[in-house]
Amino acid sequence: MARFGILGFGLHAAKRLMPGFQRAKNSSVVALSRRDSEKAQDTARKYGVRFGFGSPAELCRCPEVDAVFVASPNACHFKDVLLALGCAKPVLCEKPMGLNAAQCREMSEAARKAGLVLGVAHVFRFAESVIRVRERLQSGQVGKPVFARCEFSYNVAQHPRQWINDPALAGGGPIADVGVHCVDVLRFVLGDDVASVHASGTFDGPMESTAALTLQFHKGTLATVLVSKHVAYRTPFEFVGETGTLRADNGLSVDQPVRLELRRNGVVETEEVTNDLAYARQVDAFAAALQGKTEFIAPGEEGWRNQLVLDAAYRSMKTGESERIVDS
């Protein structure tokens, strides 16, 4: 059993991570941290967690913690990951991994030098809808992929995670917040990397509120990512091949069943799957990697690769030109 400490216990930890740990088979939470020590202890009691700490350092130094799950605001990931690695703790870090690719590279190299596992919480790599579409695409059911699209939108006015509106903490708008999920799903399903990005968006403040990204993949697939913080929650995806199409209207939902559709030769085949175990699978997969049983399928290097795409998208929004992916 891998014993995790959740660094930065907030809404996401309460709504998604804790239910996932409760359903996990080889992972548990033994510690959590919040900025206020008294609130941390109250939260620990509420969830039956043994330790509630008032600082990240206390959690990372706790000998009962085998691995640290960094769930702090985006701008804190860099220092929190390096802190945990410095305390000889493996780290699973929430997405986006950092504020820029240089931070992600430094975190990845620090983990490599320390001989510690560093993963990024791209939870949809563990979602049944994404796994099935990847399997079907790789088996040739739609032929060579020509187009792909992935969308992720939500209404920020109804969202309790208000720190995402603070540029100093979020580091970006919906491109960084949920667009990174879309980029990762496209890369994971297609088994390919992005060569260049063209992005445009609208702003209602210092950060983008809606954006459209066009991604050119190395093997030729053209993909679009659409994100917004001003429309109702929606997560459709679609992969169009030379001989068919795979799609779902709610492909990245973890709250309801997902209806996958395979369209080819005028015939529609459907399959219903559920992503309700994605968070449990994620932490158990990380635990298995700690135990040397398997490689974690979302290592820090993948978070770094995704951040390269985000960085290029933000450059493109400033220049108005397509931007090539450049390693940093």
Task: Write out the two tokens for 251.
Answer: 């492909």
Backbone angles phi and psi of 324, in degrees to 5: -75, 150
Second-level CATH architecture of 2-123+281-296? 3-Layer(aba) Sandwich (3.40)
CA pair distance 102, 2, nearest whole angstrom: 30
Report the pLDDT value the prediction gives residue 236, as an integer from 0 to 100: 98
Contact between residue 175 and residue 313 where contact means Cβ atoms under 8 Å apart: yes
Q: What is the pLDDT of residues 205-216, one digit of tens each?
A: 899 999 999 999
Residue bearing tokens 């298995």: 288
In the prediction, which pLDDT does 163 show?
80
With pLDDT > 70 as the criterion, what percentage of the chain qualifies? 99
* Per-residue model confidence (pLDDT) at position 159: 67
Buried b / exposed e over 191-211, threshold 16 CB at 10 Å, is ebebebbbbebeeeeebbbbb
pLDDT of residue 162: 72
Kindly tell me the burial class for residue 113, based on how many C-beta atoms sit within 10 Å of its own C-beta (0-12, 13-18, 19 or more). Answer: exposed
In this prediction, residue 278 carries a pLDDT of 98
pLDDT single digits (tens) 116-150? 999 999 999 999 999 999 999 999 999 999 999 99
Residue 304 pLDDT exceeds 90: yes
Six-digit token pair at 124? 């949809």
Q: Mean pLDDT lowest for which of 177-181, 201-205, 225-229? A: 201-205
Mean pLDDT computed over every residue of the chain: 96
Residue 209 confidence (pLDDT): 96
Is domain 124-274+307-324 annotated with CATH 3.30.360.10?
A: yes
328 or 309: which leads in pLDDT = 309
Can you tell me the distance from the alpha carbon of 276 to that of 256, in angstroms, rounded to the nearest whole number? 8
pLDDT value at 202 more than 70: yes
pLDDT value, residue 166? 87
| Sequence-distant (≥ 6) Cβ neighbours of residue 115 within 8 angstroms | none
* pLDDT value of position 328: 62
> Does residue 161 have a pLDDT over 80?
no
Q: What is the pLDDT of residues 79-118, one digit of tens each?
A: 999 999 999 999 999 999 999 999 999 999 999 999 999 9
Do the Cβ atoms of 198 and 320 come closer than 8 Å? no
Q: Assess whether pLDDT exceeds 70 at residue 248.
A: yes
How confident is the model over 227-244, as a mean pLDDT? Answer: 97
Is-contact 129 248, C-beta < 8 A? yes
- Residues 272 and 258 sit within 8 Å (Cβ to Cβ): yes
User: Sorting pLDDT into bands at 50, 70 and 90, what band is 327?
Assistant: confident
Residue 327 DSSP SS3: coil
- In angstroms, the CA 108 to CA 119 distance is 9
Q: How many CA atoms lie within 13 A of 307 on its CB side?
A: 27
In this prediction, residue 175 carries a pLDDT of 98
The answer, yes or no, to whether residue 72 has pLDDT greater than 90, is yes
Domain ranges of the chain: 2-123+281-296, 124-274+307-324
Section 19-39 average pLDDT: 97
pLDDT digits (tens, 9 = 90+) for 259-286: 999 999 999 999 999 999 999 999 999 9
